[in-house]
Chain A
């Protein structure tokens, strides 16, 4: 009985133990499975997280780069605007700082510009002390390899530098973020732009590097423009000085000429006066002798006396002309102006010269319209001008030629012209024709007397009437002398 109970109990205990063990084993198995699933789930979470992070990294990088690009573009726009407002190299550097700092996020800017001797000077620095600027200048100025590299338009930055270079720059620039880019104008390096940042919030990117390169090119262009402007400005100043000097010389020369002219007029006037008095006596005595009042004289003597008389008249005429020119020039002879009909003046001239015209068989054509207004002129002096011009035309026009006198009323003046079909003038003669004592060297002049003062006197008379006189001519075909007399004087 005892054994039966013992065995049964043992069996039951073993069964329970086995059952429990089995149960525990199953539970452990289940827990293991759950744990495994849990671990797998965690791993799955991590894997998903990796994917999310990968996408997120790319997104953040793109966003940051986009931001910088946009800021850089803002900076470019601002700089374009600024540099267009200044043509002063110094001012450009002052203007450039702010937009660069505010739009690009970098903190320090050093503008190192090459001088005429080829060494670098710090034209401007922003966000840095004077000492820092000197240190940077010394470092870059002494680093010829770096300068050479930049001359080839290669920007160096904390992005593209090698580890050794980065360590080198960190040591000397004392910053992790930097861009060193050449300031170029066409193919010439004008200087170096160094931008650095100590900030924790801005790391230099490739976009910064590109933008900095474009910026430095713009700065280079601006500097070149400023220099060109300065060059042009200096040239202009130099030119202005030269013009001023030349003007002064010309004024001096003009003053001398005027002085000489005045002296000449005074001399002529004095000499003429001195000549006229004895000439009057000579002429008077010649006339007296010639008249026979002092007794009969032989015919041969009379003939000589008449020649003396005739030449004395010519000399008096010459002296009078010289005196007139001198007086008109000095303003001593005022024009006795009165309202006059030019047509009647021309008629008088026609009457006066009729014998010569007839003698030479030259036709005089008058084209003076009836509406030609009366002008305020010194009638005798204008008549003198017409006599001179028409007389000359008669002299140089061959037989059966035509002389045409024209009057053409215009808005502000009346244009008169005396045209002939004569021998015409060469260019050189045409330019000198109104000079005093100038006589054209031709056969006619050689055979006829003349003083060379007629046209000069005519010019002085027309100018005294505020008009102008000139000549157009075709050699061998004829000449046209024209002059104007303004209405304005008529009105005043």
Chain B
């Protein structure tokens, strides 16, 4: 068996009791002595420091990575409270972890370079198959960060760079990362996997452009100032004259269901941008960079369109585990995708479980931005940070 996985979960109120129980269950499920990597997910109800202490007390592996989340996905259920521990072991794979801290004090290039160096030196010349990144307090521009990551990983031009951001816009103080024996903020942590490992992944978002194309006349960084010669906010005012005042609220339906779409240059492929704020002059502040001259749309997403892409993403993993029913499936769902799917999400998890096989454990979490860069732009999987997509990864 190439990859052994043991998952434990507990939602006891007390952090130490919950962590201890989850660890115990995970240990029971993996049936091996040596642990190569520990993935930790916890809802914000728990003390991250206590979790790390409990892991240090009960497990030997120095390689720990994980994050806070508002929803832990385990097989066919989303838990809104609890701690999940996933233990990985393989004699044929190599796991390495790395991190960079103080993202707010570094530019994209510095952050990417220090992150890659932190794990590259340990990894040596072995073949790398996956670069999985978690961030809290993302760098100023994720596309730039990704670009520099790709540049720093030039020895492996096809290595997938995937991951997620765990920072909630509304409650950033309750977000955190787990990295080895500490909990960190405003940081990025990564684990690289190499050796005899097979990885398959898919990422989809269920939003489609609506209305006539418009063009950004003026922008700076995350801010769109002018669209088609008018203040940027008029784009929303055209379609949502009554609801526009809710746009500043990141949890409003308007913000969730109708983000902005920036044409990627490839037909039908759009980068999604969420509105973070609206300035007094009518400029719109987005969650990531926007370039002047880009075609821009209001994007429309609903339950049906998101369900469709969920199935499309899941179907890409069909048959992946059929020859070797071992390993694990990872799912990262944006909080917006989660919100739109609502009660239908668990139905889709059942579909996922059936598709990959009942024996394959599924672990995942609800994120606030997904990173999906598989080397070259994919027709349906834009290689940039999204906050609206669903990502599935099979690893064996």
Contacts and interface: CB of A to CB of B under 8 A. Distances in A.
B238 interface: yes
Contacts of A474: none
Contact of B258 (A45, A53, A98): A53
A202 B45 contact: no
Contacts of A82: none
Contacts of A46: 211-212, 238-239
B303 A63 contact: yes
B251 A63 contact: no
Nearest to A67: B342
Contacts of B366: 201
Interface in B135-190: 168-171, 174
Q: Which of A50, A105, A199 neighbours the largest number of chain B CB atoms within 10 Å of its CB?
A: A199
B335 interface: yes
Contacts of B168: 199-200
Contacts of A126: 13
B256 to A, nearest CB: 8
Q: Which of B45, B174, B240, B339 neighbours the largest number of chain A CB atoms within 10 Å of its CB?
A: B339
Interface in A386-430: none
A49 B335 contact: no
A61 B342 CA distance: 12
A179 to B, nearest CB: 16
Contact of A201 (B81, B240, B257, B338): B338
Given A42-B212, A50-B239, A199 B253 contact: no
Contact of B80 (A101, A176, A198): A101
Contacts of A50: 238-239
A102 interface: yes
A145 B11 CA distance: 37
A98 B240 CA distance: 38
Given A42-B212, A53-B239, A202 B251 contact: yes
Nearest to A104: B80
Interface string A75-98: 000000000000000000000011
A45 B211 contact: yes
B342 A199 contact: no
Nearest to A54: B239
A57 interface: yes
A127 interface: yes
Contact of B212 (A45, A105, A200): A45
B243 A57 contact: yes
Contacts of A199: 70, 168, 170-171, 251
B343 interface: yes
B210 A53 contact: yes
Given A49-B239, A200-B335, A102 B212 contact: no
A198 B174 contact: yes
Contact of A67 (B81, B174, B243, B343): B343
Interface residues of B, number: 39
B278 interface: no
Interface in A35-73: 42-43, 45-46, 49-50, 52-53, 56-57, 59-61, 63-64, 67, 70-71
Contacts of A52: 210, 300
A56 B70 contact: no
Contact of B342 (A42, A56, A63): A63
A440 interface: no
A9 B219 CA distance: 56
Contacts of B226: none
Given A49-B239, A53-B239, A57-B253, A101 B303 contact: no
Nearest to B212: A42
Contacts of A98: 11, 81
Contact of A101 (B81, B169, B250): B81
A201 B70 contact: yes
A189 interface: no
A203 interface: yes
Contact of B302 (A49, A59, A102): A59
B211 A200 contact: no
A201 B212 CA distance: 29
A interface: dominant SS: helix
A107 B300 CA distance: 29
B298 interface: yes
A203 B300 contact: no
B58 to A, nearest CB: 25
Contacts of A102: 79-81
A49 B212 CA distance: 8
B14 interface: no
B193 to A, nearest CB: 30
B308 interface: no
B343 A49 contact: no
B126 interface: no
B312 interface: no
B291 to A, nearest CB: 23
Given A64-B342, A102-B80, A198-B170, A53 B253 contact: no
Nearest to A55: B302
B110 interface: no
Nearest to B249: A176
A203 B252 CA distance: 7
Nearest to A41: B212
A201 B171 CA distance: 11
Contacts of B81: 98, 101-102, 127
Interface in B296-325: 298, 300, 302-303
Nearest to A101: B81
Interface in A188-205: 198-203
B288 to A, nearest CB: 17
Nearest to B257: A60
Nearest to A198: B171
Given A46-B212, A101-B80, A199-B251, A70 B343 contact: yes
Contacts of B243: 57
B87 to A, nearest CB: 25
Nearest to A103: B80
Nearest to A70: B343
A328 B302 CA distance: 99
Contacts of B79: 102
Given A64-B342, A199-B251, A56 B335 contact: no
A200 B175 CA distance: 13
Contacts of A201: 70, 251, 335-336, 338-339, 366
Contacts of A42: 212
Contacts of B298: 49, 53
Interface of B: 11, 13, 45, 70, 79-81, 168-171, 174, 210-212, 238-240, 243, 249-253, 257-258, 298, 300, 302-303, 335-336, 338-340, 342-343, 366, 368
Interface of A: 42-43, 45-46, 49-50, 52-53, 56-57, 59-61, 63-64, 67, 70-71, 97-98, 101-102, 105, 107, 126-127, 176, 198-203
24 contacts: A42-B212, A46-B212, A46-B238, A46-B239, A53-B210, A53-B239, A56-B257, A57-B240, A63-B342, A67-B343, A97-B13, A101-B80, A102-B80, A127-B45, A176-B170, A176-B251, A198-B171, A199-B171, A200-B168, A200-B170, A200-B250, A200-B251, A201-B338, A203-B252
4 closest Cβ contacts across the A-B interface?
Answer: A42-B212, A49-B211, A67-B342, A200-B251
Given A57-B240, A126-B13, 19 more contacts: A46-B239, A52-B210, A53-B210, A57-B253, A59-B302, A60-B257, A67-B342, A67-B343, A97-B13, A176-B249, A198-B174, A199-B168, A200-B171, A200-B250, A201-B336, A201-B339, A202-B339, A203-B252, A203-B253
